Structure 1
């Protein structure tokens, strides 16, 4: 693919990731308004968030296998178009049941769209540029946190919450047109059978690779989910400063995704082991620094700077393993990292809730550190298995 076309494709997919991230996260800033409008409790409204993550995790790989033989460009465009439709349905939802249905459907479509786009990048972008390209695309989710969610929240609070979903639908139309113009029509679709694709899940290296983002993302969200009460009750951050801290945190996660592109080049798994050890150390130090506002902020932002480094390496490693064991399962493998990340979000948030209920907010630092060490362990094992595989191939080539 020509250099200019590669840039256009990456930009288009990055904008799409911004749309998908805004679609997923926007509801967090509008929970109170939605709960009041639908006449449900905040706890029930919260299930619209967890339901999205669970549907994403469970539904994406299933849908990927069902559409695996369809043309990739048309499938991506169809997913974006349906996301627009379901965002509009969300805007007119008058009951909790309808709202939950639209969120679940949207979640699976978001998973399909981002998985196919990442698979397309691994197919058409030159290998030397894949790490940076994936980091830019995944950075779209970080930009959604920094820009999309605050803008959507502002719109929803000043023009009723339904207006925020109409805004995401308009963004979806723009993403559809952009992708229509730049996605090449000659992308390959999966040739593997459903049985062959699912067989990947029986490979221990695939399972270990899947667990890397589960634990890595779980560590982040075990503490990030409760960042607001942490700032209020442990770090003693003033209410007026909360928005600025969240903005700084969001910017740091974008920087983290960029760092992930650098880590993904060369000895990626070896470097990622060190990242998880550093992450665990930061969380431990945060426990001691949190009561001192300035020091607590330093370690909170440092934790954000390492939070997304794993994503690019995990994504490319899963695709690499799929190509090695079953080349026709590339698309299915591309869906596993987003699925694993959402599994980590759900699991980390749930475990964090248990810890808060039993040991208090301050104990979250130790929880996050422990999960980060689990991520280190599975990454170290994956690294050792990869080295053995490389050694065996070298011996076979020399024989």
Structure 2
């Protein structure tokens, strides 16, 4: 393919940037709660373990809510659905900020998770449609980048604000920012231009494609492996690598920056050679986690490998999301919702398994070993996709087909 025939846009549409701002807010609310648990437990008169249910409830809401809400809002215009999700997101934070009841705060977290799942499942479709078929991975990389920036900047800022103003302060700020994001999306997101009426039956039919499930399996395994390791990274750094507790946030910042680089680079490479990008990312992630298992007693090695874990682990995410939407054809919304739930399933299973490994004779080396196995297993569904020559046979959605004829053909030749 000649370089002159590469019609990928130099810049992604502003729509994608606006949606990534929404994923930043939602990534912040998902993870900031961990830094506020002691204050919440004291204020609401519950134990620390009970307060931890606020994290579990959000994950459960994402797992169940993303696909359910994708179907429930299918017949609503996509712009209206995004605005509604942000309004509900804002109201959930207001209820939590005003409440003195732990049960009500817990319920608000579930509602907030439902809004987050809705925003992601619809936002991913809107972003990739606006970007065009030749920039699908780049668009998803930008959306994932918003959530990644949340771990680097949003979560620390939220925890800092919580120290200054109490745990309710970040909730007030997130409510205000999400209301502002709803106004921006209402102004700049174009009206829905779907040529065909959405069909619930078609959405479920898309899930019958084995390629979709192979892609979702890869998502679950890879993110489950990386986040299983990340969940217990603090004891590994302090007890095994001998790094001081005060330096751990700096190491985690390196991980977050690595993840941001990974989503950016993976998004660009994923549009050109998706399967090659995915297999390389999974293999290098397994290698990095194995090296972390073996060499984490060295502080320097631990810091470098944790940063690389973020880079390689998240490099696959944009291409995985793009492949799932591509295999869904003209019914991408439910697949997008399930794609949002799949990593959370992996995180839930992986973190539980890593916790068991942590209490075994393996100790702090247990979680990265669990991550190594999960990342290595990711190569099974990815290899199956490669053997099926999956990307040669996909049919782009009708609204993208005209623009895709040349770029998809060139891209699949590069993959093969």
Q: Same fold (TM over 0.5)?
A: yes
Residue equivalent to 2:224: 218
Q: 1:26 corresponds to which residue?
A: 32
Alpha-carbon distance change, 306 to 5 in structure 1, aligned in 2, over 3 angstroms:
closer
The separation in 2 between residues aligned to 1:347 and 1:187, in whole angstroms, is 39
**Superposed displacement of residue 6, structure 1:** 5.2
Q: Does 1:98 align with 2:104?
A: yes
User: What does residue 4 of structure 2 align with?
Assistant: none
Classify the secondary structure of the residue corresponding to 2:166: coil
The question of 1:256 aligning with 2:259 is answered no
Q: Quote how far apart the aligned CAs of 1:389 are.
A: 5.8
What are the residue-to-residue correspondences of 1:63-142 with 2, within 5 Å? 63-142=69-148
- Cα separation, 2, equivalents of 1:387 and 1:72: 29
Residue 397 of structure 1 corresponds to which residue in structure 2? none
Task: Give, in whole Å, the separation in 2 of the partners of 1:60 and 1:130.
Answer: 20
Within the candidate set 166, 170, 176, 1:170 is matched to 176
Deviations 1:211-234 (CA, angstroms, capped at 9, x unpaired) = 111001001111100111111111
- TM (norm. structure 1) is 0.92
Relative to structure 1, is the Cα distance of residues 376 and 37 closer, same or farther in structure 2, using a 3 angstrom cutoff? same
TM-superposition CA deviations, 1:214-270 (whole Å, max 9, x none): 001001111100111111111111122112112111111111111211231222113
Q: Partner residue of 1:16? A: 22
| Mapped partners of 1:307, 1:340: distance in 2 | 15
User: Residues 1-399 of structure 1 correspond to what in structure 2 (within 5 A)?
Assistant: 7-188=13-194, 191-323=197-329, 327=330, 329-359=331-361, 360-387=363-390, 390=393
Q: How many residues align?
A: 386
Q: Determine the C-alpha separation between the residues in 2 that align with 1:362 and 1:6.
A: 41
Question: Structure 1 pair 119/348, CA: closer, same or farther in 2 (3 Å)?
Answer: same
Moved over 6 A (4+): none
Cα shift readout 1:334-381 (whole Å, capped 9, x = no counterpart): 222211111112111111111112232212221111000111111111
RMSD across aligned positions (CA): 2.0
Q: Give the whole-Å Cα distance in 2 for the aligned partners of 1:319 and 1:222.
A: 26
- Unmatched 5+ stretches in structure 2: 1-8, 395-408, 410-416
What SS does the corresponding residue of 1:345 show, helix, strand or coil?
helix
1-structure distance, mates of 2:322, 2:135: 12
SS where residue 271 of structure 2 aligns?
Answer: coil
TM-superposed CA distance for 1:196, in Å, is 3.2
Question: Quick one: distance in 2 between partners of 1:240 and 1:388?
Answer: 47
How far 1:311 sits from its partner (Å)?
Answer: 1.2
Q: C-alpha deviations, 1:300-335, integer Å up to 9, x for none?
A: 111111121121111111111110xxx1x2111222
- Quick one: distance in 1 between partners of 2:393 and 2:199? 28
How far the C-alpha of 1:385 sits from its partner, in A, is: 1.9
Q: CA shift at 1:84, angstroms?
A: 0.4
Contact in 2 for aligned 1:190/1:330 (Cα 8 Å)? no
Describe the shift of the 1:6–1:261 C-alpha distance in structure 2 as closer, same or farther (beyond 3 A). closer
| Contact 1:72 1:187 survives alignment (8 Å) | no
